[in-house]
């Protein structure tokens, strides 16, 4: 159902607004991330470069400030973001997005970024391979942040399934973070497991660092050129919502 709802959503339309979400988020149980994440390692599994920042950027900044070793596992290089670009080939986009992810990681204090190189837009047909790769990379004593299992985007949901299996194999703890849910879902939405949701208490400085890290993904939030096929992938209203709403994880 979530994949169908995402597919039907108009990403150029406002979706569910900040004003709609905010009262709902304020009544969710709040939690101190330093209590929630009590392991020495945080590993963020990102379907595409930028998901790790949009979903958990402020959380990551806070934890690295407190000595947690953070790393990012990028499932794809995001090379399909502009499939008809007249200025950037898929290889160009992959290299550009890896550079952007590395710069954002530095802003957030992340120690390592690993790229698995699976095909962007086709993670669903590589889940067995992805599960094995993630099993090799996930640490037993880690907290692993993965996309919400019903975030809507097919790559996100396939990543979540594989990551959940791999984390279970390694005995690691899993937290789920939403990205696209904020656009197509709504407060009290029956498709979302709200009893598992926790609102993170995060310092404003960590939120500012998330905003700075997000700004480094220029290929996604700005046009690559004046050509229509080089338009920004993430519309301003999508970015603004992700940078305004309080980060939430599902435990």
Q: Could you tell me what percentage of the chain is helix, strand and coil, using 3-state DSSP and rounding each to the nearest 5?
A: 50, 15, 35
Provide φ and ψ at 247, rounded to 5°.
Answer: -65, 140
Q: In this predicted model, what pLDDT tens digit does every residue of 96-148 receive, in sequence order?
A: 999 999 999 999 999 999 999 999 999 999 999 999 999 999 999 899 999 99
Query: Can you list the positions of beta strands (E) in the chain?
Result: 30-31, 41-46, 69-76, 112-118, 142-147, 173-177, 197-200, 248-250
pTM across the whole model: 0.96
Percent of the chain with pLDDT over 90: 99
Binned at pLDDT 50, 70 and 90, residue 182 comes out as very high
Binned at pLDDT 50, 70 and 90, residue 87 comes out as very high
The hierarchical CATH code for the domain 2-250 is 3.40.50.10320
User: Dmax over Cα atoms in the chain, in whole Å?
Assistant: 48
pLDDT of residue 141: 86
The ranges assigned to domains in the chain are 2-250
CA 201 to CA 83: how far, in whole Å?
38
Percent of the chain with pLDDT over 70: 100
């Amino acid at each position: 159902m979530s994949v169908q709802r995402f597919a039907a959503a108009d990403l150029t339309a406002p979706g569910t607004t900040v004003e709609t979400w905010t009262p709902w988020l304020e009544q969710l149980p709040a939690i101190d991330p330093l209590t929630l994440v009590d392991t020495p390692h945080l590993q963020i599994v990102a379907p595409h470069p930028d998901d790790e920042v949009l979903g958990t950027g402020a959380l990551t900044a806070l934890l690295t400030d407190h000595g947690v070793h953070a790393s990012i596992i990028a499932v794809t290089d995001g090379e399909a973001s502009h499939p008809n670009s007249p200025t950037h080939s898929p290889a160009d986009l992959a290299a550009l997005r890896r550079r952007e992810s590395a710069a954002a990681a530095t802003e957030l204090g992340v120690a390592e970024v690993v790229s698995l190189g699976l095909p962007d837009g086709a993670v669903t047909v590589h889940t067995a391979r992805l599960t094995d790769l993630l099993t090799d990379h996930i640490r037993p004593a880690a907290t692993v942040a993965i996309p919400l299992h019903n975030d809507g985007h097919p790559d996100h949901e396939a990543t979540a399934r594989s990551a959940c299996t791999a984390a279970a194999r390694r005995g690691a703890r899993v937290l789920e973070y939403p990205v696209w849910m904020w656009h197509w879902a709504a407060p009290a939405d029956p498709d979302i497991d709200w009893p598992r949701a926790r609102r993170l208490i995060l310092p404003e400085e960590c939120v500012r660092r998330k905003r700075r890290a997000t700004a480094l993904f220029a290929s996604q939030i700005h046009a690559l050129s004046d050509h229509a096929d080089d338009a920004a992938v993430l519309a301003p209203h999508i970015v603004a919502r992700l940078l305004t709403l309080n980060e939430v994880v599902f435990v």
